[in-house]
Amino acid sequence: GAAILLGRLWDAFSDPIFGRFSDQTSTRFGRRRPFILGAAIPYGLTFFLLWLVPDTTPAVKFIYVVFFFLFHTTASTAYSVPYTALTPELAKTYDERTSLNAYRMFFSILGGLIAGAVPAFIVQMIGNESRGYAVMGLLFGLFIMTSPIIVFFFTKESREKHLSKKKLFEALKDVIQNKPFVYAVFMFFFTWTGVNVVSATIIYFATYVMGREEEIGILIGVLFLSSIVFLPVWVKISGKLEKRRAYQAGMLELICCLLFITFFGDVLNDIWLYITIIITGFGVSAAHILPFSILPDAVEYDRVISGEKREGMYYGLSTFFQKLGTSLMLFIVGVTLEISGYIPNVQQEPHVIFTIRMLFGVFPAALFLTGIILMIPYPIDRNFQKNMFKGEEKDHEAG
């Protein structure tokens, strides 16, 4: 546990650092793609090695896990931050960014479902737990290596001549003064914290509140598969509405569904429960696609007003807040359950059931509501962006 905690802390705080490094890199392959390619082998190899912990003393095991987990999270950051920072360059327009992130979220959600289901299948097929997880680590490690290589060879990035020259803390000061980004990043923080709280507590809710422990895999599968199906719908909706309005509508729908399941999920029959889960997937889909399509617009705003391209630092800060929020809220969930008197694998007391209901539904609903409120003053829409680019063109002509 301590080894994982150390790794996660380093993982979060290293995001802005690697983002800044990529902003100040200039090669014929671009700024981001060299990091992506360089991370490929260590990213996959360290994942595999984490499943080959030697059978030795606890102290040696601890050192082994800390070393390779820190190495793995570093490689992960070196890949993921430059990868996400490519978004504004790959998708230039307001609506293109929504479409691009729909494809990204399709593979992200699908990959999450596969990662949740396949390891147990491999272990069962091998018949030996330690050997099974080693095989799983090898297969997943090879897949992890392949993904960055594909990104490197199948994307193009122009060579940036005007690199950011400001020092880190000067650049961070500019970030704080970028009001659209501040609204967007905190919306992102509360939305993804809420999504992760739901993901972490759905097992407790399904087991102890609804009494459907044997259906947990099916419930989660239906929820996230339906969210995949609804991704193109949100692309259409955000094309008709402004992104922030689409986001607010999606989060409001998700809040209503969560609260309905929280207080009535245990009395619904199978048909109505799964219908409700599918409808909830509509809101979950919005939570996956829209925050990621709103962020690049706020990052683009900085480029227009400052003249510097600092996408790496911006996306590094975004992932920092995402990881920090997830770790913090999951800690709060664990502590709250412990204080309530939760005991695993036994029938829970009424006050524990009440606590689980609050954690699963009311708590994330409050987080999503905060995201909705943060989008009220968010200024960037289609007209704002068009005027922003017109102003930039006039500046170039004047220059």
Q: What percent of the chain has pLDDT over 70?
A: 94
Over its C-alpha atoms, the chain yields an Rg (Å, rounded) of: 22
- Short-list 173, 163, 174, 186, CA closest to 305: 174
Residue 69: inside a domain, yes or no?
yes
Residue 162: inside a domain, yes or no?
no
Residue 4: predicted pLDDT: 65
Whole-number Å distance between alpha carbons of 151 and 145: 11
| Number of domains making up the chain | 1
Residue 2: predicted pLDDT: 60
Q: How many helices (H) and strands (E) does the chain have?
A: 16, 0
Task: Summarize pLDDT for 318-376 with one digit per residue, the tens.
Answer: 998 888 888 888 888 989 999 999 999 899 999 999 999 999 999 999 999 999 999 99
Residue 117 binned pLDDT confidence (cut-offs 50, 70, 90): confident
- The CA–CA distances, whole Å, from 102 to 107, 229, 325 equal 9, 10, 23
Residue 82: inside a domain, yes or no?
yes
Whole-number Å distance between alpha carbons of 60 and 54: 8
Residue 397: predicted pLDDT: 47
Residue 398: inside a domain, yes or no?
no
Task: Summarize pLDDT for 298-318 with one digit per residue, the tens.
Answer: 999 998 888 888 899 999 999
Average pLDDT score over the chain: 90
Residue 269 has pLDDT above 90, yes or no: yes
For range 224-252, the mean pLDDT: 95
Give CA torsion, residues 211, 217, 220, 224, to 10 deg.
Answer: -160
Residue 184 binned pLDDT confidence (cut-offs 50, 70, 90): very high
For range 40-67, the mean pLDDT: 92
Residue 162: predicted pLDDT: 59
Residue 324: inside a domain, yes or no?
yes
Residue 394: inside a domain, yes or no?
no
Q: State the DSSP code for 377.
A: S
Task: Summarize pLDDT for 132-166 with one digit per residue, the tens.
Answer: 999 999 999 999 999 999 999 999 887 766 566 77
Residue 170, classified by CB atoms within 10 Å of its CB into exposed (0-12), middle (13-18) or buried (19+), is exposed
* Sign of the Cα pseudo-torsion (330, 333, 338, 339, in order): positive
- Short-list 152, 143, 110, CA closest to 44: 143
Residue 390: predicted pLDDT: 67
Question: What are the DSSP calls for 109-152, one per residue?
Answer: HHHHHHHHHHHHHHHHHHS-HHHHHHHHHHHHHHHHHHHHHHHH
Residue 185 binned pLDDT confidence (cut-offs 50, 70, 90): very high
Residue 8, classified by CB atoms within 10 Å of its CB into exposed (0-12), middle (13-18) or buried (19+), is middle
Residue 70: inside a domain, yes or no?
yes
Residue 64 has pLDDT above 50, yes or no: yes
- Short-list 361, 330, 10, CA closest to 196: 330
pTM for the structure as a whole: 0.89
Region of poorest pLDDT, from 2-11, 128-137, 225-234, 314-323: 2-11
What CATH number is associated with residue 184? 1.20.1250.20
Q: Which amino acid is at 203?
A: I
Q: State the DSSP code for 86.
A: T
Residue 197: inside a domain, yes or no?
yes
Domain that includes residue 99, residue range: 2-154+168-386
Residue 396 binned pLDDT confidence (cut-offs 50, 70, 90): very low
Task: Summarize pLDDT for 66-116 with one digit per residue, the tens.
Answer: 899 899 999 999 999 999 999 888 888 888 999 999 999 999 999 988 888
